[in-house]
A and B are shown apart, each in its own frame.
Chain A
């Protein structure tokens, strides 16, 4: 039987993607959000005893994520713009649930399946292998600008497809 702390850790893992997105919405930076997410994991672990299993985990974890994000942003000089307080409050009030996240993930997978073989190869290089456009350009002996355009198109195809599948394209 997992301990209470382990159960909380499992919840954090289960909601990691959602929390990553939530943090990114606050700081406007996906890379920084990854770092903050690890801090959030740490705090959730050490404060696991303050969470009652069965209560609203996402609300609890988001509070921690919000705090850690603000703490991180205060500690560094930022050259990026952020959402204002009203906008933050508005988007947070409609933050997605785990079910929303699952639906979107499923939609993305279905959209990936529909790509042409060439697009799938490109997606695998960019998102699977994590290659930069420059590295892809080198591997394919193409100009980096061409790869940028292809990636941009691919991203757009995927997002449009997800929008359609989620019923948000109308």
Chain B
């Protein structure tokens, strides 16, 4: 081993916390006596930091660096991403600890993200002194501030210094208050979802909803409240729930437990039902773009065609016509095989190196040409009696600077983020099927995310592309072709199902019997909907054979 390798191994061990006493002494000695070792030490540490900044997906950082005169300096993409995570903490922390917020009490929550309604409005903040101001990102909410969210908008609020997040959606109203015993929130109307972190001793978060008061001490849980219903799902610790208007009707639930409060009814402590998706017919997928086309007039790579021109009205009209034709062809193909649904994977286009975007809420800004026609395209699908799906990503998708590349940033609360995106797609297009792209970075596993999404939308089919553990209790994992052999060879958990990614015709023909068994057991086949292949006939045959012997 060279001297360089030896030193770098010591630094690796230092960062991994695995050095023995002797190795640590060796590292100390070399750093004290060898200038070159000090250089290598810094290089190795900064190498790890650079990799951890996660700007390397698709090398978008290079594009930013190459932006040329007037472009943002290379560090900004990384820094903005980091700052996005830190800024609210800082604003709130500063405000709360040092009274920087003028003319108001300490900050209780900060507006971490705001997705306006399609009409353009987000909402407003009403202060106790009757001042009113528009809702904006970075705003700090103080004592007795009331936040009004416009119908169609969604807002994420975060508490300073802790992983507590609240999401408010359309036509919602929330009053914020803090006491020495902890935060007190009152949802007047609308939908609230909360992810509450462990609270320090002596403090508890209390959330009042129209149906219940939810009281929590040192735990992590989710509360979802609407005008008719409040549900509480506990990850760990214990939560007490008291029904409004029914004296003595209280419940205390522990890890994995749930309770639902409905107006005028006693609390319901029935456990969350597992996924029960009765339709096992095939699902079509529709991918409309090619990635990183670099075509100036078709930057999002629509229809893999450099000749498409979205910069002119005529070009956009031509795009609409061609997309409608593709959707109609897809519908015909899906009807031919008796498929249940069509899933759109890339409604936002593929302008950036990150691939599928999976944030339909940003459609108007990311792909305005599609935003203008998406409703009509999807309505054609639904009118044909075919259900609609939309791919959803678990990461934040941000553009660090105007005109720069999109990039991914770990979501602070991935389940909440996915939930908001699903709600948007459901409300706008009636979507009920949601492939989940990506994997949670840390702190929460995919099974927990799937459980939460299922609890929130039990009528939806969630298809995680990176499923683990018990995710299949709440969702139908996406099986890639390379995973198929092990999937088919593994025992099927009763009641579970998977969604098998589109397969090559030859593979299907060669594994016809195994695929029939998989479909018999509940798995769902998919197919590329926009063009017809021999594989469509195979899907049809496999489906028919499986239906002859259902599980």
Contact = CB atoms under 8 A, between A and B. Distances in A.
Contacts of B97: 42, 46
A106 B439 contact: no
Interface in A138-170: 138-141, 155, 158-159, 162-163, 166, 168-169
A21 B8 CA distance: 15
A28 B15 contact: yes
A123 to B, nearest CB: 6
Contacts of B19: 81
A127 B94 contact: no
A135 B439 CA distance: 8
Contacts of B75: 14, 17, 102, 105
Interface stretch (B76-84, B378-386, B537-545): B76-84
Interface in B192-228: none
Given A20-B49, A130-B410, A124 B56 contact: yes
A163 B90 contact: no
Contact of B32 (A90, A131, A168): A90
B246 interface: no
B39 A14 contact: no
A14 B42 CA distance: 18
A42 B49 contact: no
A113 B98 CA distance: 46
B85 to A, nearest CB: 8
B44 interface: yes
Nearest to B160: A42
Contacts of B68: none
B50 interface: yes
Nearest to A134: B468
A120 B59 CA distance: 9
Contact of A21 (B49, B57, B61, B467): B49
A131 B48 CA distance: 15
Contact of B39 (A34, A128, A168): A168
Contact of B17 (A80, A96, A104): A80
A115 B56 CA distance: 12
B45 interface: yes
Contacts of B482: 140-141
Interface in B444-499: 465-468, 480, 482-483, 485-486
A84 interface: yes
Given A17-B46, A30-B48, A102-B74, A94 B15 contact: no
A56 interface: no
Contact of A159 (B14, B32, B44): B44
B52 A91 contact: no
A37 B17 CA distance: 19
B17 A16 contact: no
Interface residues of B, number: 73
B4 A169 contact: yes
Interface stretch (B23-31, B143-151, B165-173, B295-303): B23-31
A13 interface: yes
A123 B56 CA distance: 7
Given A25-B45, A42-B94, A17 B480 contact: no
Contact of A13 (B83, B94, B439): B83
A42 B41 CA distance: 28
B430 interface: no
Interface string A104-142: 111011001100000010011001111100110011110
B46 A41 contact: no
Interface in A1-59: 9, 13-14, 16-18, 20-21, 24-25, 28-30, 34, 37-38, 41-42, 45-46
B245 interface: no
Contact of A87 (B27, B61, B98): B27
Contact of A45 (B35, B90, B465): B90
Contact of B47 (A16, A81, A95, A158): A158
Q: Top 3 closest A-B pairs, CB basis?
A: A128-B57, A80-B17, A87-B28
16 contacts: A13-B79, A14-B79, A16-B82, A21-B45, A24-B15, A28-B17, A37-B86, A38-B86, A41-B89, A41-B90, A42-B93, A90-B38, A101-B46, A108-B56, A128-B56, A138-B466
Interface of A: 9, 13-14, 16-18, 20-21, 24-25, 28-30, 34, 37-38, 41-42, 45-46, 79-81, 83-84, 86-87, 90-91, 94-96, 100-102, 104-106, 108-109, 112-113, 120, 123-124, 127-131, 134-135, 138-141, 155, 158-159, 162-163, 166, 168-169
